[in-house]
Amino acid sequence: MDSHPVGERKTYLNTLEKASVGQDIVPFVDFLAGLVRKRLAGEPLPPVPKSTS
């Protein structure tokens, strides 16, 4: 799994689907908790792409 949130898009979408359709929020909560743990450990936020408009 890529440590960059954009690289984790597939995991995010899969866990969101399980929460929405399968009524199983545990994988989604674990995913979000992992992102929070990384930030609390001092990992920098990913760069925000600049708007092209």
> 3-state class of 21 per DSSP?
coil
| pLDDT value, residue 45 | 76
Q: Which of 32, 40, 28, 41 is nearest to 5 (CA)?
A: 32
CA distance 9 to 4: 9
Q: Which residues contact 6 (CB under 8 A, 6 or more apart)?
A: 46
| pLDDT value, residue 32 | 92
Q: Where are the alpha helices (H) located in the chain, listed in sequence order? A: 9-20, 26-40
Report the chain (53 residues): mean pLDDT per 10 consecutive residues: 68 94 95 91 81 73
| pLDDT value, residue 46 | 74
